Every structure is written in C-alpha cells, then in structure tokens.
Amino acid sequence: MSNQTVSPGALLAGRYRIAELLAEIDGARVWRAVDEVLSRAVVVDVLPVGDPRTNLLFDAARRAAAANDPRFLRVLDCDIHDGVTYCVREWAGGRPLERMLSSGPLTGQQAGWLAREVSEALENLHRTGYAHGAINPASVVVTDAGAIKIVGVATEAALRSSGAGSPEEDVHSLGELLFASLTGRWPGPVPAWGLQPAPVEHGRLLSPRQVRAGVPRSLDDISDRLLGDPPRHHAPPITSAAGLSAALSGVVGSSHEPPNQMDETVQVARQNGSIDDATQVVPQAGPPALDPTPRPTYDSEPNGYRQPQPAYNTAAETRPVRRQTPPPSNGNGRRRHDEPKPKGSWGGRILILLAILALLSVVAMAQFLLKGAMNNDQDNGNKGGGTSSSNAPQTSTTPSSTGGKATIAGAADFDPPPGNREEHHKDVPNTYDGDPSTTWKTQSYRNKPNLGGIKSGVGIIYDLGAKTTVSAVAVALQGNDTSLQIMIPSGDTATSPTTISGWKAVATKADQAEGTVTLNPSAPTETRYVLVWLTKLPKVADGYQGTISEVSIQK
C-alpha cells in the first residue's frame, strides 16, 4: 500500500475505513475516516513510503500525548502499515476560525474569549515543556456546540516540516490570531488565511483600534503587547501563555460559556472597563456568533481542513480610524453660546414630575384605605372569639443563602481519558430545561454495565455560576440498576478539573431503579461545579446505556 493507493473505501491497518480527502500538505494527505472498531469518525494523516517526515511525525505524536487539555484534539494512533506511515487523530465537527473570519471580524468579547480559551490550553501544554508549533486560524475550530478545539498539536508542524516550535512562537502566533479576530486583517506583509494584510504606518503595524473602530482599548493594549516591537507606551511585552491568559481573563472574565449576542458583548465589555467612546465611532455589522448555525451554502468544516480555495478573498478596504473630537466647550465645562440647546424644556419636565407625584399620592391613599379595611375585619374577627396576635407575620425580602433550587448557569458532558469526550454534548441542556420528556443519553457500551470495563464512568458537570452551598442533588433516571455519584472538585471548588482524579465523591447511590433519586452530601457543600457521575448503566437492547432526563440542585 502507498500514499497513492490510500483512497476512499480503502481499509487502512484493518481498522480505518477511508472516507474523503480533507487536505494535502506537501505530499502528505489528510483524510476523514471511520474507526470501524469504535464506530466513530477520525482524521488520518498519511505520509508516502519513505517520506523523511516519518520520524518527525512519530516524535510529534509522542509529544501530542502530553496534551491533556480537552481543547486539544488527541492523537489516537500512529504506526506504519504496508510501508505507509499514518497518524490517527480525533474528529471535531464545526467551523475553523479561518472560515468564520471570511464573514467579518468578531466582536471584542468574542475575540478575547476565543483567544483566552486557546491561551489556557497552550498554558497547560507549555507546562509539559512542549509547544503546538502551528497555531493559526485554520487550526482553531469552533464546534457546533460553541466549544473551542485545537487541531494538530505538534503533528501539524511535523507535516509542514516547520519544526517543533517553541512556547514563545505559540504566543506570538496567538497574538496574530487575536489581531485577525479583532480586525479581519492579517498582521503580516502579505495576504494569509483569506485575509488582506493589515495597514502599516512608518514601518510599524497599526494597532487594532487604528484599523477597525469599536475594538476595546484593553484588547488593543493586549494585542500591542503581543505584536508590538516594542509595545507602545513602554508597556511590558506578553511572552507567555500564562501571562496572556491572565490578561485576557481580566477583560473577558473566566467563563467557558461562549458569548453569542452583540448586546451582551458590549454590556460585559463596558462592565469590565474594556469599552469606551471609540466603540461608537463607526457602526459595525453584527459579527457571526461563536456557535453559528451552519449555513446552507456550505457544509460543516471540521478539524480546520477544507477543500482547496483561492489563496485569499478580496477584503473591503480598511483605513485607520480616528477618534471623534469631543463637543467644543469654553474651558469650564459650560456650553458655548453657539452650541444647539438640548431638546425639550423645563416646563415640560415639571409637568411630567407633577403627574408622577399625583400618581404616587393616589397609590398611597389606596394603600391606606385598604389597610384600614383589613384592620377593621381583623378587629371584628377578634370580637367574635378569634385569637389576636401582637406580632403580625413578617415576610423577608432578603433572599436566603441556603434553601431553594440552585440556578444552573451551564453544563457540559464529562468523559475524560480514556474516554473519547463525545458523550452526546448537544443533549446536555435537556437535563436542566425543566422538561422531563427531553433526555441526555450516554453512548451505548457492550458486554458490561460498568461502561464495558474500559473506563470508570461518564457524567455531566454543572456550573452554578458561583460558589453555592449544595445540600442535595435530585437526578431523574431512566432504566433500572443505575449507579451514580455526586462529585465536587477536590481542590479549589471554583475551578472545574479536567481529569477524574481532580474530583471527590460526596454522595453515592448504587443500583437505583428508574425514577428520581436524591443524593445528599453528608454535610452541605460549597462549590461552583457539581459532577453527576454514572458508574453503572442500565441494560438496553444493544448493550448498556445511561439516561438522565432532569437534574435539580438544591441549596
């Protein structure tokens, strides 16, 4: 078998059924395939016989194994079969950032959030001593559920023979990605990734705010600290993923929920002090949401690859934008005589104020008369033999810190290694939508109820938005003999661990019948994240599968 004989329909290594060609990189071919053993889609990189990149690809696959962050698509297999070198990676359906930017730049909040997600993943990778080596708009994918997935950690650089890269190069590349997301222009001298080059003045790259109106000042400063040589205003450069994550979290917050609406973006940015009057200089068209509905003109483009297209699309002309000058004044804050007076008059305002006061007087009189009538009824009742109480019942308007139903701000399926992290994530919201007829199901496992014996469990992580006292968790199950646990982070309960070892069980129920089961921690527990963890699944027609229809968390 050779690289040329690997074609649609071929069975590679007796396991991977080749489906379609995604890309060709310097003679290496990237295929979508189906793992017939696990019945799931994968991506297979194939090198021709004798290709000098073989050892580079094997070394890259070993380095990629150190990338434990769930935002990286994992390398599943790497071997030689019939002389052909192949590397198998996870598949993620969605749209690469390259395609999203072809529709225009993102909002400040969206661009900052996306860059922060990537920087956090790189921060975890860099702690292992390795780098991605090929961060660009094609290697960052936004899935259909709005999550960020990063393609080709180490392996992409090996296919392109660009070297292993360094953490500092990763951070600089992420700076280019942030600049492009904010402006829709590429911060380089030539077109790239379908974007026209950004304008330069006196040999220096213009800042995002100079290229496009509406870019928040805080993100403009971060971009300049990443790409400026040197940064403006003697600001210290950002050279590490950890430093970038901290800077971006200070602007867009630490939530992993993707921003969708323009109004919400502006509101959050204003609250964080990252938006100013420059936002209002030129009205901008609404950018694409980070979890857009696929458009009918093209299919979902997973894993950052797409069919060959022109090198770049013609972008609309973009010019530096200057701030609008403030209204003239006489120096002491008063309006000059030649300025137009505001609309309206004091007379009209006084009439409106009097009308409001009159309405309030009518309401107060009505309350007084109603209270008097109620007191008369109570006195008559007491005279008839009733018992009078000197202390009237009082109703507190202050919400209690405990008791009542906790609000679930978001949730995500949790299937850490050796799981494949594909436990029907789109159906997770069904478990807290208030509708018992909608459900979330695990994958179907064969042979054994303990998830086929291949992993310890699967579940859903619920985000309460802030640390909350949890006294009980009610889980509505379908099917008999489900075993489950309620878990919270074993360390800082304001963060969500990415491995099961980072969680501890606070309540356990075994072999539960169909219906709602309530799990109570031995003592009220304060946490932001709650994990409902299934360790044994009910029997179904083709194996074993767990089903949750509703979850309610009590304070």
Does the pLDDT value for residue 312 go beyond 90? Answer: no
pLDDT of residue 260: 61
In this prediction, residue 523 has a pLDDT band, given cuts at 50, 70 and 90, of confident
For residue 16, the number of C-alpha atoms closer than 13 Å in the C-beta half-sphere is: 25
Cα–Cα distance between 84 and 66 in angstroms, integer? 25
Higher pLDDT, 325 or 414: 414
CB of 86 within 8 A of CB of 79? yes
pLDDT tens digits, one per residue of 490-508: 988 888 888 888 899 999 9
Q: What is the pLDDT of residue 6?
A: 84
Q: How many CB atoms lie within 10 A of CB 450?
A: 17
The number of angstroms, rounded, from the C-alpha of 196 to the middle of its chain's C-alpha atoms is 28
Cα angle vertex 255, ends 165, 112, to 5°? 50
Q: Using one digit for the tens of pLDDT, what is the confidence trace for 259-286?
A: 764 334 334 333 443 333 322 223 333 3
Pick the range with the lowest mean pLDDT from 25-34, 403-412, 414-423, 475-484: 414-423
Distances (CA, A) of 326 to 107, 333, 521: 25, 12, 59
CB 135 within 8 A of CB 174: yes
Structure tokens at 512: 């539960």
Confidence of residue 366 (pLDDT cuts 50, 70, 90): low
Least confident of 142-146, 244-248, 278-282, 503-507: 278-282
Query: CA 419, CA 276: separation in Å to the nearest integer?
Result: 45
**Higher-confidence position of 438 and 304:** 438
pLDDT at 36 over 90: yes
CB 414 within 8 A of CB 460: yes
Task: State yes or no: pLDDT of 304 exceeds 60.
Answer: no
**37-46, 331-340, 422-431: least confidently modelled range:** 331-340
Average pLDDT over residues 235-250: 93
Reported as a pLDDT band with limits 50, 70 and 90, residue 64 is confident
Contacts of 98 (CB under 8 A, 6+ apart): 136, 137, 138, 193, 194, 304, 306
Q: Is the confidence at residue 197, as pLDDT, over 50? A: yes
Distance linking the first and last C-alpha atoms of the chain: 61
> With 80 as the cut, is the pLDDT of residue 405 above it?
yes
Q: Are 53 and 47 in contact (CB under 8 A)?
A: yes
Q: What is the pLDDT of residue 520?
A: 92
Q: Which residue has the higher pLDDT, 287 or 530?
A: 530
Q: What average pLDDT does the segment 180-203 reach?
A: 93
User: Is residue 123 very low, low, confident or very high in pLDDT (cuts 50, 70, 90)?
Assistant: very high
Mean pLDDT, all residues of the chain? 78
d(CA 199, CA 210): 9
Give the pLDDT of residue 4.
53
Query: What is the per-residue pLDDT for 345?
Result: 52
- pLDDT, position 68: 83
Q: Could you count the other beta carbons within 10 Å of the beta carbon of residue 366? A: 10
Q: Higher pLDDT residue, 397 or 319? A: 319
- Lowest-confidence region among 262-271, 354-363, 507-516: 262-271
pTM of the model: 0.50
Lowest average pLDDT, out of 3-7, 118-122, 359-363, goes to: 3-7
Q: Is the pLDDT of residue 81 over 90?
A: no
Which pLDDT does position 115 carry in this prediction? 96
Assess whether pLDDT exceeds 60 at residue 401: no
* Better pLDDT: 554 or 340: 554
Tokens of 28: 């290496």
CB 69 within 8 A of CB 86: no
Q: Evaluate whether 326 touches 276 at the Cβ level (below 8 Å).
A: no
- The DSSP bridge pattern shows strands 40-47 and 28-35 to be antiparallel
Q: According to the model, what pLDDT value does residue 388 have?
A: 38
The Cα–Cα gap between 33 and 12 comes to 9
- pLDDT(161) > 50: yes
Residue 305 confidence (pLDDT): 54
Tokens of 304: 């950052």
Q: Is 102 left (phi over 0), alpha (psi -120 to 50) or beta?
A: alpha
Q: 389 pLDDT exceeds 70? A: no
**Picking from 37-51, 213-227, 266-280, 316-330, which range would have the lowest pLDDT averaged per residue?**
266-280
Rounded Cα distance between 492 and 503, Å, is 10
Percent of the chain with pLDDT over 70: 75
Does pLDDT of 528 surpass 90? yes
Delineate the domains of the chain, giving CATH numbers in brackets: 10-90 (3.30.200.20), 94-272 (1.10.510.10), 405-554 (2.60.120.260)
Question: For 471-488, what is the mean pLDDT?
Answer: 94
Distances 420 to 37, 156, 524 between C-alpha atoms, Å: 13, 21, 33
Position 335 scores a pLDDT of 46
Query: Where does the pLDDT of residue 307 fall: very low under 50, low under 70, confident under 90, or very high at 90 and above?
Result: very low
Mean pLDDT, residues 116-132: 91
